[in-house]
Amino acid sequence: MSTTDSDPLARERAHLGASRAALRAMREDVEALDIRDVTANWVNAAVLSRQIEERVKALADLSHTPLFFGRLDYLHTTQEGQRFYIGRRHVHDAHGDPMVIDWRAPVSQPFYRASRKDPQDVGLRRRFGYTGGELTAYEDEHLTDPEEADTTSRLLQAEIERPRVGPMRDIVATIQPEQDEIVRSGLSGSVCVQGGPGTGKTAVGLHRVAYLLYAHRERLARTGTLVIGPNRSFLRYIEQVLPALGELEVRQSTVDDLVGTHVEVRGADEAAAAVVKGDARMAEVLRRAVRSHVTPPVEPVVVVRGSRRWRVPAYEVEEIVRELLARDMRYGAAREALPRRIAHAVLVRMEEAGEAPDDRVQDAVARNAAVKAAVKAVWPPVDPAKLVLRLLSDAEFLAEHARGVLTEEEQKAILWTRPPRGVRSAKWSPADAVLVDEAADLVERTHSLGHVVLDEAQDLSPMQYRAVGRRCSTGSVTVLGDLAQGTTPWATRSWTEALGHLGKPDAVVEELTAGFRVPREVIAYASRLLPHIAPGLAEVRSVRENPGSLEVRAVGEAERDPAVVTACREFLGREGSVGLIAADARVPELARALDGAGLGFLAPGEETSARARLTLVPASLAKGLEYDYVVLDEPAAVVGGEPDERTGLRRLYVALTRAVSGLTLVHAAPLPAHLTA
């Protein structure tokens, strides 16, 4: 007997070797494709070459990502076989028989879901462990063996404890059953996931896109997919997850960038103004303002053709206009329909007079100068930016359309004190851009994508939800968020409300409660704030066995900065990334302190590496990010940096929940009472 036969690990390594060879052969087959005979012209040839190039890229064997991470032995042979190796991509041998199955394929599903209670016909589930690209360990579960005890997977634990240097990683090897249910839920349904810090919401959202692209590739290639995150540094942190899963075509954007195509955002609002501008009632004000441009005709339309004059009386044009208004079409679509409707009225008269006009006559009448002039007078074009500009600068115009919708104070809050001269010179705020986007949609329907993932959704205003909702009006959405981490003045109070604004009231709300980031001691400390910031939400249950460390250091004001530098230095002595989180206002002073101490540091969104591991993070940008070790500077300043106590405590909750292995608080001012109580 050879060692390969007797040693299971050697056998698995042999399968890995054979799979890599098969992948190489697949790549060589694609590289060797001769497209000269199959392409009729150079355009087709160029398209095909690009596709081939991409396919070759997708077939690369990356040494740091194992080709497979699991194996399933079914109890019974299925049509596809009985033993499957589960990996990031499909690999087959020269006969077309599978060597590695894509994690998203239906036969892979039990790898994530099968349990002793429900073995799903799986006799053996094997997980593989790798060290530096080498297959070095495996772990078996015999799900139908009553003698075998339930144990927690060491490999899963090792994966969760792995230092976090670099961008966010995929979690394909260790997706948990409750996460998998969300990842694999159907394309037609929308899902909303409430989950505390580190429960894997972002990871789940990204894997869900990858899954949907696998299961509905053609449809989504046509309709498109989009991931929305809170800011650009967050998007940079997550941007490599989908490409690592072989998905290169998913767009990523912030809400601000999404709606910022109509006007240039250069201004900011006071909170009071932003709250009103973000309120869903603004949609009604805009709707009325857009429709107010339609003016009932007072003159008849007279079309002269040859020696004849055809007259459509004003009351009849008015009837057409009324009917179009009642149909609640987009303003622009109705405007386009109007000339043909007037032309139709002319044609009816021609027929009554014994003529037999055809479609070409109707087209010609619709283009007639008199008809065009009438349309311009009755249903003039509306420029969305100009309309919003007028609403925000002209008190009378605003009052006319906000009557009964906004109070006088609310109207006053949103009016510009010094109206700008024009669209270009206006200092548009992010909330204004959302209003312009809503107005643009009233004029012309926004293109809808096939699927949208909306992360950190709790921070969106109702008007922002509407902006996202119209981008998936005919598709579906995955909403991810945590009500306890809402830090905007308009943060969502309930998911039902948010889903209503998104236009997806039937979305299923799921909850994730197992935490993969924050150590037990640290999450327990942060959760002291929960009753004050989100009563009713459950505390996250940390699955991390590593006890982690929590230290609170009280120092005198003069020693605070040096103490922060010392804490950073201590953590830099260990393996992994370090985040120094501080109130935004404290960041410049701390930057000087770090510089003075000769400690180099990055800004959020810049990629950490083995050489550059320290990031200085303003509290306002900490959301969604994580570091192996966190030094939190002056919690009272983090709370005090926000307009009200609840928002401040929520900001603090976010900052307290970024650490994977250790958290040190350094403070000179007293700690917020809710934390010490």
How many Cα atoms within 13 Å fall on the side-chain side of residue 373? 9
Torsion of CA 235, 237, 242, 243, to 10 degrees: 110
Q: Which one of residues 195, 486, 648, 662 is an interface residue with ligand ATP (CB under 6 A)?
A: 195
Q: Which one of residues 16, 100, 171, 498 is an interface residue with ligand ATP (CB under 6 A)?
A: 171
| Residue 198 makes contact with ligand ATP by CB under 6 A | yes
Transcribe 396-435 into DSSP letters: HHHHHHHTTTS-HHHHHHHS-SS--SSTTTS-B-HHHHHH
| Residue 478 makes contact with ligand ATP by CB under 6 A | no
Q: Helices 430-443 and 384-393, interaxial angle, to 10°?
A: 130
Which of these segments, 95-103, 175-183, 354-362, 489-497, binds ligand ATP (CB under 6 A)?
175-183
201 assigned binding-site residue: yes
4 assigned binding-site residue: no
The amino acid at 635: P
| Residue 394 makes contact with ligand ATP by CB under 6 A | no
Instruction: Rank residues 426 and 453 by Cβ distance to ligand ATP and give the closer one.
Output: 453
354 assigned binding-site residue: no
Rounded to the nearest whole angstrom, what is the least distance from the CB of residue 194 to ligand ATP in the complex?
10
Rounded to the nearest whole angstrom, what is the least distance from the CB of residue 125 to ligand ATP in the complex?
15
SS3 62: coil
Binding-site residue total for ligand ATP (CB under 6 A)?
Answer: 21
- Letters for 130-159 (x = contact with ligand ATP by CB under 6 A, - = none) are -----------------------------x
Rounded to the nearest whole angstrom, what is the least distance from the CB of residue 257 to ligand ATP in the complex?
20
User: Distance (Å, rounded) from C-alpha 96 to C-alpha 111?
Assistant: 23
Query: What are the Cα distances from residue 611, in Å, to 166, 402, 483?
Result: 11, 57, 36
Q: Confirm if 124 and 71 have CB atoms less than 8 A apart.
A: yes
Q: Which one of residues 201, 216, 466, 667 is an interface residue with ligand ATP (CB under 6 A)?
A: 201
Rounded to the nearest whole angstrom, what is the least distance from the CB of residue 416 to ligand ATP in the complex?
36
Which of these segments, 198-206, 325-333, 502-510, 628-636, binds ligand ATP (CB under 6 A)?
198-206
Q: Which helix (H) or strand (E) holds 345?
A: helix 331-352
- Letters for 480-519 (x = contact with ligand ATP by CB under 6 A, - = none) are --x---------------------------------xx--
Q: Which one of residues 108, 199, 411, 527 is an interface residue with ligand ATP (CB under 6 A)?
A: 199
Rounded to the nearest whole angstrom, what is the least distance from the CB of residue 487 to ligand ATP in the complex?
12
Look up residue 198 and give its DSSP letter.
Answer: T
User: Distance (Å, rounded) from C-alpha 330 to C-alpha 326?
Assistant: 11
Instruction: Rank residues 403 and 541 by Cβ distance to ligand ATP and give the closer one.
Output: 541
Instruction: Rank residues 73 and 459 by Cβ distance to ligand ATP and give the closer one.
Output: 459
Q: What residue number has its CB nearest to ligand ATP? A: 200
Rounded to the nearest whole angstrom, what is the least distance from the CB of residue 541 to ligand ATP in the complex?
13
User: Distance (Å, rounded) from C-alpha 468 to C-alpha 228?
Assistant: 9
Query: What are the Cα distances from residue 110, in Å, to 53, 73, 176, 192, 550?
Result: 34, 10, 11, 24, 38
197 assigned binding-site residue: yes
| Residue 579 makes contact with ligand ATP by CB under 6 A | no
The three-point CA angle 508-185-65 to 5° equals 130
Torsion of CA 159, 69, 102, 76, to 10 degrees: -120
| Residue 624 makes contact with ligand ATP by CB under 6 A | yes
Q: Which helix (H) or strand (E) holds 5?
A: helix 3-6
| Residue 260 makes contact with ligand ATP by CB under 6 A | no
Q: Confirm if 254 and 229 have CB atoms less than 8 A apart.
A: yes
Q: Which one of residues 174, 194, 429, 458 is an interface residue with ligand ATP (CB under 6 A)?
A: 174
| Residue 180 makes contact with ligand ATP by CB under 6 A | no
CB atoms inside a 10 Å sphere around CB 189: 13
Rounded to the nearest whole angstrom, what is the least distance from the CB of residue 175 to ligand ATP in the complex?
5
CB atoms inside a 10 Å sphere around CB 440: 25
Which positions lie near ligand ATP, rule CB under 6 A?
A: 159-160, 169, 171, 174-176, 179, 195, 197-203, 482, 516-517, 624, 626
User: Which residues are part of a known binding site for ATP?
Assistant: 195-202
Q: Residues within the annotated binding site?
A: 195-202
